[in-house]
Amino acid sequence: MQKPLKNTLVLLAAMLPVFAEAQMSNTTPQADMTYPETTKGDVKDNYFGTTVADPYRWLEDDRSEATKAWVTAQNKVSEQYFSQIPFRGAIKDRLTKLMNYEKYSQPFKEGGYTYFYKNTGLQNQSVLYRQKDGGEAEVFLDPNTFSKDATTSLAGTSFSKDGSLLAYQLSEGGSDWTKAVVMNTKDKTIIGDTLTYIKFSGIAWHGNDGFYYSSYDKPTEGSQLSGITQYHKLYYHKLGTSQKDDQLVFGGEKTPRRYIGAGLTEDERFLIITAANSTSGNELYIKDLSKPDSPIVPVVNNFDKEHYVLDNDGSKLIIYTTLNAPNGRIVTVDAAQPSPANWKELIKETQNVLNPSTGGGKIFANYIKDAVSMVLQYDRNGKLEHTVELPGIGTANGFGSKKEEKELYYIFTSYVYPTTIFKYNVETGKSEVYKKTNVDFDPTKYESKQVFYTSMDGTKVPMIITHKKGLALNGKNPTLLYGYGGFNVSLTPAFNTSVVVLLEQGAVYAVPNLRGGGEYGEKWHLAGTKMQKQNVFDDFIAAAEYLVANKYTSKDYLAISGGSNGGLLVGATMAQRPELFKVAFPAVGVLDMLRYHKFTAGAGWSFDYGTSEDSKEMFDYLYRYSPVHALKQGVKYPATLVTTADHDDRVVPAHSFKFAATLQEKQGGPAPVLISIQTNAGHGAGKPMDKAIEETADKWAFMLYNMGLDYKP
C-alpha cells in the first residue's frame, strides 16, 4: 500500500542556477523595460468590512481572448529580454551537455519480467523497458510517441498481480487530469475503451477483472483547468464495460470527501480506502474482498491524524499512524475489530520522523534525522534485524518490493552525491552498487555541510550549504537560497544536475528546513500553518541573514527560489524584505491568498493556510502577507522572473498573472519584472526535457545578468 493520495502541493524538483566565479561587481546591467499594458478593472470584494480591490480579476479567466493576448504579449517581452543576454546560449549549451547522460529508475518485477525506466540522455520523456532474466531489454512503452511535441506524459502505471495487464495514465500538457489505457502486456494490445477525467488517483487492480480509481465530476463552472473540483469519488471499473457503467464504491453525496485513495493489500484480500478533506489527516476504511458483499468498515473515522495500511498477514493489518505519535509509529490489529482501541504497538515512536515501507517480507523504518536518512530493517514481529549502511549523509528511499523477493533496490543521493541505485540483500542486510549516474561531476571537489541558525523567535533551524572546497567567505559569492516550508513536505538532500553548473562556477547553494515542513514531525509542520505561517517566512529571511552575516554572500549576490508553496514563500519574503535579495524566482506560486480556494482543489489546502472566509482574524492575517496584496507602490523590488504554465491546474496560472501585473505596476526600482508562461505545460510533472532546459537557461541567464556577472564556460 502507498501513502494516501491527496492533493499535496508538489515539491518542484526545479533545476538550479548557474553563476560566474569571477568578474563580479555591484553594477547590474539594465535595459529600458516597457511592459505590456494590463487593463485595470474595478472589481472589489468586502471581507468582514474591509474593501479589497482586485483590478486584475479578469486574468483569472484562462479562456478569454484578452487573457490569451496578455500571455502572448508578456512572453514576447520576456523572450526579447532573454535574447539580449550574451551568455544565455552558453548556459543552455552547458545544461544540455550536463543532462546528456543515461538515467535509470529502480527496477521492479511484474509477471515474468523486470521493468525499469531509462532515458538515453536528452529524451523528452523516460522510456519504460522490460527484460527477462538474462535476456535483452526491450522497449515496452515509449511516452515520446504519445504526442508530436512530447507534452503528453506517462502519469502512472499499475500492473495486475500476475503482470498480464497494465493500466497506464496519460497527462496531456502537464494537466492533473489524466486518461487511463489498459494494455495486454504479452502482445501490447489495447483492451477496452480509454477512461477519461481521472484525477489524483492511483489504479488498484482486483485480479484481472477490473480496478479501482478515483476522480471528480467535470467542472460545471469555469474551465476544465481552473473550475472547482470539490468531491472525489472512488469507482470500480470492470474490464469490457463502459466507463459510464462504473460502480461508485465510496464518496459522492452520501460520503462527500475532497480526496479519496484506494489500494489493495498484496494478497488482494483487503481493499484499503483513505479519505480526507484537506492535505493533512485522513480517515481509514477497509473492505474484505474475500467475503461477498462485505461492508466498508471504518478503521479510523476522523481526520485528526495520518494513517495508512502498510501490509497484512492474513487478517492482521500492519498500520502506520501518527495517532498518539506525532513522529509516526507502526501498529497491528485484527481486521475483524480494527478500531484504534484494539491496536497493538509493533514499532514505537522515536524522536525522528518515520516513513516506513515493506519489501521482501520485512518492514523498513526510514527515519528522517535532522533532514537526512537513517534506515532500519525489522521483521514482522518488530524485531530489529539490520541497520542499512548508507554510503554517506543524504537521502535514501525506495525500499519496497513484493513479499517473496529476496532483493530490492533503493536510491541514495545528496547534494554532492549523484543519484545511485543500490541492490540490497534482505537476508544479509548488505548493499551493492547497481547503477551509477555518469554525470560530468567530481564530488571530491565539493563539500556539503549542515548548520543550525536562529530564527526570529529563537527557534533553531537546520540548513545545508553546498559549495566548492576552499570557498573564500568574502561576501561576494553568488548564492541561491531555495525553500519550501509547507504541507509537511521534507526537503532532504538530493542531487540536481543543474547544481553542477552552479557549483563549478564557485557559487553557494543553500537549503533550509523551514517550519511548515515535515522534517521534525507534526509540531514542526503545525508551527508553519494558518496563523503561524509567518514563522516560515521568518525562517527563510533568517537563513538569508545568516548567509550574509557569515560572508557566504551579500544582498548584491543573493537569489531566492521556490515553487508552488515555495512560490508563495518567495513572493511573501520579497514583499516583506525587498532590500535583502537581488533576484527572485517565484515559480507556479500560490500568490493570491484571498482567493486560492476558489480554484480546482485549492480548498483542500485550507489546513495549512486557512481561508479569507474563515474569520476576520484569519482574513486579516492572510491579507497582510498575501503576495499579490502585500506589494507597495514605489518600493524597489528585486529583479523578478515569475514562471508558470498554461496547463497548471494545481496552482492555476492566474496567481502568477496577477502577481506579475501588480509587481510591474508597483515596481519602484530599475530591476526588471518578467513573467514566462510555458504552453502545453503544467505544474511540473512530466515536463519534457527540452522545455525544462529552455526554462532553466532563461532563469540562470536572467540571474547572472541582474547580478552583473559573466558566465565562464
Contact 333, 309 (CB under 8 A): no
Alpha-carbon gap, residue 128 to 130, rounded angstroms: 7
Is 564 catalytic? The answer is yes
Alpha-carbon gap, residue 522 to 513, rounded angstroms: 14
Backbone angles phi, psi at 597, to 5 degrees: -80, 0
Single out the catalytic residue among 175, 564, 626, 676: 564
Alpha-carbon gap, residue 20 to 7, rounded angstroms: 39
The C-alpha cell of 18 is what?
548557474
Alpha-carbon gap, residue 170 to 144, rounded angstroms: 12
Alpha-carbon gap, residue 32 to 119, rounded angstroms: 42
Alpha-carbon gap, residue 307 to 405, rounded angstroms: 26
Place of cell 502537464: 174
Q: Which of 595, 597, 571, 594 is nearest to 584 (CA)?
A: 571
Backbone angles phi, psi at 183, to 5 degrees: -125, 140
Helix orientation angle between 654-666 and 565-576, rounded to the nearest 10 degrees: 10
Q: Which of 241, 243, 273 is nearest to 260 (CA)?
A: 273
List the beta bridge partners of residue 51: 46
In 3-state terms, what secondary structure has residue 313? Answer: strand
Contact 94, 439 (CB under 8 A): no
Place of cell 564557485: 506
Alpha-carbon gap, residue 476 to 669, rounded angstroms: 22
Angle (CA) 50-52-58 rounded to 5° is 155
Alpha-carbon gap, residue 288 to 295, rounded angstroms: 8
The C-alpha cell of 465 is what?
550549504
* Amino acid letter for position 311: D
Burial class (CB in 10 A: 0-12, 13-18, 19+), 377: buried
* Amino acid letter for position 560: I
Cα distances from 697 to residues 14, 91, 271, in angstroms, run 12, 6, 46
Backbone angles phi, psi at 119, to 5 degrees: -120, 125
In 3-state terms, what secondary structure has residue 163? Answer: coil
Contact 27, 708 (CB under 8 A): yes
281: Cβ contacts below 8 Å, ≥ 6 apart = 302, 303, 304, 305, 306, 607
Cα distances from 24 to residues 195, 568, 696, 709, in angstroms, run 56, 30, 21, 5
Q: Which of 706, 687, 3 is nearest to 321 (CA)?
A: 3
Alpha-carbon gap, residue 12 to 705, rounded angstroms: 24
Is 655 catalytic? The answer is no
31: Cβ contacts below 8 Å, ≥ 6 apart = 81, 84, 672
Single out the catalytic residue among 232, 597, 647, 683: 683
Contact 356, 346 (CB under 8 A): no
341: Cβ contacts below 8 Å, ≥ 6 apart = none
List the beta bridge partners of residue 440: none
Alpha-carbon gap, residue 382 to 84, rounded angstroms: 62
Alpha-carbon gap, residue 53 to 50, rounded angstroms: 10
Taking the chain, what is the end-to-end CA distance rounded to the nearest angstrom? 47
Length of the chain: 713
Alpha-carbon gap, residue 506 to 103, rounded angstroms: 26
Residues noted as catalytic: 564, 683
